[in-house]
Amino acid sequence: MSGSIKDRVAIAGMGCTRFGERWDTGTNDLLVEAAYQAFEDAGIEPKDVEAAWLGTSSSGGTGMTLAEPLRLQYIPITRVENACATASEAFRNAAYAVAAGIHDIVLAIGVEKFKDSGMSGMGGGGTDGPGHAMLSQGLPPRQFAMLATTYFSRYGLSFEEGKHMIGRVSWKSHKNGALTRNAHFQKEVSMETILNAPMIAWPLGLYDCCGVSDGAAAAIITTPKIAKRLRKGKEPPVFAKALQIAISPRDGNYNSKYDWTHVEATVRAAERAYKEAGITNPREEISMAEVHDCFSITEAVTMEDLRFSPRGKVKDDIESGRFDLDGAQPIQLDGGLKCFGHPVGASGLRMMYEMYMQLQGRADEVLNPGMPSRQIKNPKLGLTHNLGGSPDGCAIFVGIVGLEGV
Amino acid sequence: MAGIVSYGAYIPYYRLPRSVINKAWGRGGGRGEKAVAGFDEDSITMSIAAGLDCLKRTDPKTVDALFLATTTAPYKERQNSTIAATALDLRRDARNADFANCLRAGTTALLSALDAVNAGSLKSVLVTAADTRLGGASGENEQAFGDGSAAFLLGNKGVAVEIEGSYTLSDDLADYWRAHEDTFVRAWEDRFGRDEGYMKIPAEAAAGVMKKYNLAPKDFAKVCFYGANSRAHAALGGEMKFKPEQIQEPLLDTVGNTGAALPLMILVAALENAKAGDRILLVSWGNGSDAIVLRVTEQIEKIRDRRGIKRHLDIKRTLDNYGRYLRWREMVPLDPPTRHEGGLASMAAQWREHATALPLYGVKCKQCGTPQLFQSASSTHARICLECFAKDNFEPYRFADKRAKLVSFSHDYLGGGIDPPTTAAIIDFDGGGRGAFNMVDRDPDECQVGIGVEMTFRKLRYLLGSHTYVWKCKPVRD
């Protein structure tokens, strides 16, 4: 790998809509809301955008999904899809266009309008669509539940110990979500409620599963020079330090060497990202992270895959509060997928938005009124992580952003 | 002399006590229990289950035909036996046939297979008989009808049970019938069926075959015959002049009336206890009667390890919930699903995949020797080795007959379906290879990482007139 994105592009502005069950809001509205927030934050006009990358998993087709509502005038727009890594993939490709010197100011935007589907949880169901249908993959919860089954078994956790560990993950995210104005779920939940919730896919209960939401988020990506000019007199721009994607060949379902207690693609993407950003000890060097907590067990295992916790030991870090908002390495500062919600095509940029706001010291701009500050002290580097697919096979994004010179 | 080279049987895991049915309808009592096909089982899947038992240690590629007998074929137009034969991994040039529409279909298939072997046109024929007749809710047939299957391999070599002769009577006496439009069996006044039909015609056929071959009841160790209920069955035994100890127990209190499969299942049970030299009389009933004379050889000792009837009777779980049974049989209108159903599975894609997906073939890499199962959403054909990345350098490798260990699992309450939770499993096959399958016939509480599982052919779903079949796994229970 010869090239590195480190400090070659900067984020000049970002926007993020309220996530949730937005019955009265369509895809168009979500796109306009997020894009115009980003334009305003960056201090640019829509006509300044030279090109755009639109991420959506199932809420649109071509780039016209974006051009039509925003009335963008004949610029190049690429529609991107990489499951739950979709928005981050839009960001990565947009950043590469700037780094390549082809464009100066570009828009990366992700959107999902899920709640027109008429069902709880993700789309799909007990039956498969067209295809040879000789297989029954099933919905996401059961895929991730198997990660918990094997993790508990391998590390000798009783059902109660394992449930408490993953329950504590969600408890923390609900605490953070309660502080955050635009989150889907803004209520604290007791451990007792979490542990006694109905099973969705054993051993995962209701509170082990993230919200399925509508929402959009956007970023204006540009060169460091232009970013500094645009943000003159405001908070400094945020720089990309690493943008990595790793796509697995679905080894979990094919290869007996895969142990179902980790996600190999996360390990691969993270190691490449650390190398790109010049990080050797992520547990100490990464100030904070938004990771793909589609299910509580996913966050727990991801802490080990990112080397935030030693292999097999994440329980100690979870239970001791290391990842709480006031802990040594806060995770899911805005509530994560669990509470901020998960509009698939927007989630990666929502994570980036939280890192961006924290790095600029602006986290309390989206504080729920009357709540204590959610801003952490002097963050240097933030990491975002998406897992698109299931543990057996997935598209993984690991990105690192930070202030200039870090 | 041609005859039975191997036998096998299958009884579904779940048993519904008749007292549970009675309780649901506000009645007392209820004798014994009946075997109930799972929500994902039908006469094709049960034919395959019995066929697998029968073909233990037999190369399916040596079998020249599958004759599948049932009155409850999933398809009216589409060859049911070819679906089963493909899953059982018979050759493409096997001469499969469906025997249908009559409770005598099982013995008719057996005699047709025998004739083909005797004629020399087919050397080895697998005969399966399975039924899943549905009794209307709260009626007598709901009590009586059970689900199950039997299988026999007919051939010339290594014959364990010679078929010495047969005699058939055809008679359009309709005591029970079911028209094309009917879901449930209809019946004429029971005394007519009993007095003019069941109590006369099988006895006439039995007398006929004994006269034809100069035999008498005392020449038989056992007589195996169809019975709609225990009392009539015992009475017919007397009518045929057999002593009670000669009459093979008819499985009605443990399995129920399995229709076209019943006489053959009773025969399997008899063979499990038979010794060389025993002569057995097999008599079926349904618009006439087939009477068949069989004689056991010393080869019987070589096929004693089948699960057959005896072991399957012990592999069971009691269904203590009549509502669950009604749901499985789709006897009551259910709350509409909140998740959309998928579309019709592509017939072209299914056809393209059948050669690998139905018999559950993976591949073994010729370069590095790694067995592997390819299970993507669109294909079951591996092209590149997952271990050494060699391209298209494989030999076929079948997984359906391999046992496996449970690597991980989850019980899915969200995905819906007829019988939630659905248990998802990741398994590692003995000898190598991994796969993702649904797990059935399991108690959620017994699932643990590391337990042994075996493969079972089941229905994935029925939608828009199309049954989609898939292999699942289940705990090993012997």
Model confidence pLDDT, tens digit, residues B346-380: 788 788 888 888 999 999 999 999 999 988 777 88
Residues of A in contact with B344 (CB under 8 A): 130
Instruction: Give the nearest partner residue to A129 out of B338, B342, B350, using CB atoms.
Output: B342
Q: Which residue of A has its CA nearest to B424?
A: A142
Is residue B366 one of the residues assigned to a domain?
Answer: yes
Per-residue DSSP letter, A213 = -
Residues B30 and B120 in one domain: yes
Is residue B286 one of the residues assigned to a domain?
Answer: yes
Model confidence at A327: pLDDT above 60? yes
Cβ neighbours, 10 Å, residue B157: 9
With a pLDDT cut of 90, the percent of chain B lying above it is: 88
Bond into B421 cis (ω within 30): yes
Q: What is the pLDDT of residue A126?
A: 39
Q: What is the pLDDT of residue B471?
A: 93
Residues of A in contact with B470 (CB under 8 A): 133-136
Model confidence at B292: pLDDT above 90? yes
Angle (deg, nearest 10), helices B80-87 and B43-54: 40
Question: Nearest-CA distance from A211 to chain B in Å?
Answer: 14
User: What gap in Å lies between CA B109 and CA B94, rounded to an integer?
Assistant: 15
pLDDT level of residue A123 (50, 70, 90 thresholds): low
Q: What is the pLDDT of residue A125?
A: 42
Task: Please give the average per-residue pLDDT across B282-299, as a whole number.
Answer: 98
Is residue B416 one of the residues assigned to a domain?
Answer: yes
A residues 263-292 closer than 8 Å to B (CB) = none
Contact between A220 and A41 under an 8 Å Cβ cutoff? The reply is yes
**In sequence order, what are the beta bridge partners of B28?**
none
A164 is annotated as an active-site residue: no
What is the residue-averaged pLDDT of chain A? 94
Is residue B336 one of the residues assigned to a domain?
Answer: no
Q: Which of B393, B384, B381 is nearest to B355 (CA)?
A: B381
Residues of A in contact with B372 (CB under 8 A): 254-255
Alpha helices in B133-243 (DSSP H): 140-144, 190-192, 201-212, 230-239
Q: What is the interface pTM, i.e. ipTM, of the complex? A: 0.87
Mutate to test the interface with B, among A120, A122, A134 (most CBs of B within 10 A): A134
Give the three-state DSSP class for B359.
Answer: coil
The per-type count for chain B, helices as H runs and strands as E runs, is: 12, 22
Task: Please give the average per-residue pLDDT across A52-68, as a whole number.
Answer: 95
A385 is annotated as an active-site residue: no
Q: How far is CA A297 from the centre of its chain?
A: 16
Q: What is the pLDDT of residue A247?
A: 97
Q: What is the pLDDT of residue B271?
A: 98
Q: Which residue of B has its CA nearest to A129?
A: B342
C-alpha Rg value of chain A to the nearest Å: 20
User: What gap in Å lies between CA B362 and CA A187, rounded to an integer?
Assistant: 49
The active-site residue out of A84, A294, A339, A394 is A84
Q: What is the pLDDT of residue A373?
A: 97
Q: How many residue pairs from chains A and B have C-beta atoms closer than 8 A?
A: 175
> In this predicted model, what pLDDT tens digit does every residue of A293-311 receive, in sequence order?
999 999 999 999 999 999 9
Residues of B in contact with A124 (CB under 8 A): 339, 342
Task: Please give the average per-residue pLDDT across A24-50, as a whole number.
Answer: 97
> In this predicted model, what pLDDT tens digit does every residue of B436-466 receive, in sequence order?
999 999 999 999 999 999 999 999 888 888 8
Mutate to test the interface with A, among B86, B344, B426, B447 (most CBs of A within 10 A): B426
Interchain contact, A119 vs B438, CB within 8 Å:
no
Give chain A's length: 406
Instruction: Give the nearest partner residue to A125 out of B341, B350, B413, using CB atoms.
Output: B341
Is residue B34 one of the residues assigned to a domain?
Answer: yes
Tally of CA atoms within 13 A in the half-sphere of B306 that contains its CB = 33
In this complex, is the C-beta atom of B443 within 8 Å of any C-beta atom belonging to chain A? no
Q: What is the pLDDT of residue A122?
A: 72
Q: What is the pLDDT of residue A131?
A: 44
In this complex, is the C-beta atom of B428 within 8 Å of any C-beta atom belonging to chain A? yes
Interchain contact, B408 vs A260, CB within 8 Å:
yes
Q: What is the pLDDT of residue B346?
A: 77
Task: Please give the average per-residue pLDDT across B331-348, as a whole number.
Answer: 76
Interchain contact, B338 vs A201, CB within 8 Å:
no
**Pairing between β-strand B222-225 and β-strand B279-283 as defined by DSSP bridges:** parallel
CATH number for the domain spanning B114: value is 3.40.47.10
Residues of B in contact with A198 (CB under 8 A): 413
Model confidence at A127: pLDDT above 60? no
Interchain contact, B346 vs A202, CB within 8 Å:
no
Is residue B391 one of the residues assigned to a domain?
Answer: yes
What is the residue-averaged pLDDT of chain B? 95
Would you state the structure tokens that stand for residue B241, as one six-digit string? 């002049």
In this complex, is the C-beta atom of B191 within 8 Å of any C-beta atom belonging to chain A? no
Interchain contact, B342 vs A200, CB within 8 Å:
no
Model confidence at B234: pLDDT above 60? yes
**Pairing between β-strand B404-412 and β-strand A199-202 as defined by DSSP bridges:** antiparallel
In this complex, is the C-beta atom of A200 within 8 Å of any C-beta atom belonging to chain B? yes
User: What gap in Å lies between CA A148 and CA B434, rounded to an integer?
Assistant: 19
Q: What is the pLDDT of residue B350?
A: 81
User: Phi and psi (nearest 5°) for B472?
Assistant: -125, 175
Say whether domain A140-209+239-402 belongs to CATH 3.40.47.10: yes
With a pLDDT cut of 70, the percent of chain B lying above it is: 99
Q: How far is CA B19 from the centre of its chain?
A: 25
Residues B399 and B464 in one domain: yes
B residues 377-406 closer than 8 Å to A (CB) = 377-380, 386-387
Residues B316 and B441 in one domain: no
Q: Which residue of B has its CA nearest to A209?
A: B414
User: What gap in Å lies between CA B34 and CA B58, rounded to an integer?
Assistant: 31
Residues B394 and B267 in one domain: no
B residues 347-376 closer than 8 Å to A (CB) = 349-350, 352-353, 357-358, 372-376
Interchain contact, A119 vs B470, CB within 8 Å:
no
Question: Nearest-CA distance from A97 to chain B in Å?
Answer: 33
Interchain contact, B424 vs A143, CB within 8 Å:
yes
In this complex, is the C-beta atom of A129 within 8 Å of any C-beta atom belonging to chain B? yes
In this complex, is the C-beta atom of A119 within 8 Å of any C-beta atom belonging to chain B? yes
Is residue B335 one of the residues assigned to a domain?
Answer: no
Task: Please give the average per-residue pLDDT across B113-131, as a whole number.
Answer: 98
Per-residue DSSP letter, B198 = I
In this complex, is the C-beta atom of A121 within 8 Å of any C-beta atom belonging to chain B? yes
Residues of B in contact with A255 (CB under 8 A): 372, 386-387, 434
Instruction: Give the nearest partner residue to A128 out of B342, B373, B375, using CB atoms.
Output: B342
Domain that holds residue B317: 3-328
User: What gap in Å lies between CA B52 and CA B45, rounded to an integer?
Assistant: 10
Interchain contact, A125 vs B461, CB within 8 Å:
no
Alpha helices in B305-455 (DSSP H): 308-314, 322-328, 347-357
Alpha helices in A137-223 (DSSP H): 140-154, 159-179, 191-195
> In this predicted model, what pLDDT tens digit does every residue of B390-438 receive, in sequence order?
999 999 999 999 999 999 999 999 877 788 899 999 999 999 999 999 9
Task: Please give the average per-residue pLDDT across B292-304, as a whole number.
Answer: 97
C-alpha Rg value of chain B to the nearest Å: 23
User: Phi and psi (nearest 5°) for A384?
Assistant: -120, 150
In this complex, is the C-beta atom of A50 within 8 Å of any C-beta atom belonging to chain B? no
Considering the domain delimited by A10-118+214-230, tell me its CATH architecture.
3-Layer(aba) Sandwich (3.40)
The active-site residue out of A174, A342, A385, A394 is A342
Same fold, A10-118+214-230 and A140-209+239-402: yes
Instruction: Give the nearest partner residue to A125 out of B339, B349, B468, using CB atoms.
Output: B339
User: What gap in Å lies between CA B39 and CA B45, rounded to an integer?
Assistant: 11
In this complex, is the C-beta atom of A393 within 8 Å of any C-beta atom belonging to chain B? no
pLDDT level of residue A128 (50, 70, 90 thresholds): very low
Contact between B275 and B300 under an 8 Å Cβ cutoff? The reply is yes
User: What gap in Å lies between CA A109 and CA A106, rounded to an integer?
Assistant: 10
Q: Which residue of B has its CA nearest to A151?
A: B408
Contact between B241 and B283 under an 8 Å Cβ cutoff? The reply is no
In this complex, is the C-beta atom of A158 within 8 Å of any C-beta atom belonging to chain B? no
Instruction: Give the nearest partner residue to B449 out of A150, A198, A251, using CB atoms.
Output: A150
Q: What is the pLDDT of residue B460?
A: 86
In this complex, is the C-beta atom of B419 within 8 Å of any C-beta atom belonging to chain A? no
Q: What is the pLDDT of residue B254?
A: 98
Q: A99: part of which helix (H) or strand (E)?
A: helix A86-99
Contact between A111 and A30 under an 8 Å Cβ cutoff? The reply is yes
Torsion region of B66: left, alpha or beta (phi above 0 gives left; psi -120 to 50 gives alpha):
beta
In this complex, is the C-beta atom of A150 within 8 Å of any C-beta atom belonging to chain B? yes
User: What gap in Å lies between CA B54 and CA B39, rounded to an integer?
Assistant: 24
Residues B303 and B378 in one domain: no
In terms of C-beta density within 10 A (0-12 exposed, 13-18 middle, 19 or more buried), how is residue B472 classed? buried
Model confidence at A342: pLDDT above 70? yes
How many independent structural domains does chain B possess? 2
> In this predicted model, what pLDDT tens digit does every residue of A261-275 receive, in sequence order?
999 999 999 999 999
Model confidence at A201: pLDDT above 60? yes
For chain A, what are the domain ranges? 10-118+214-230, 140-209+239-402
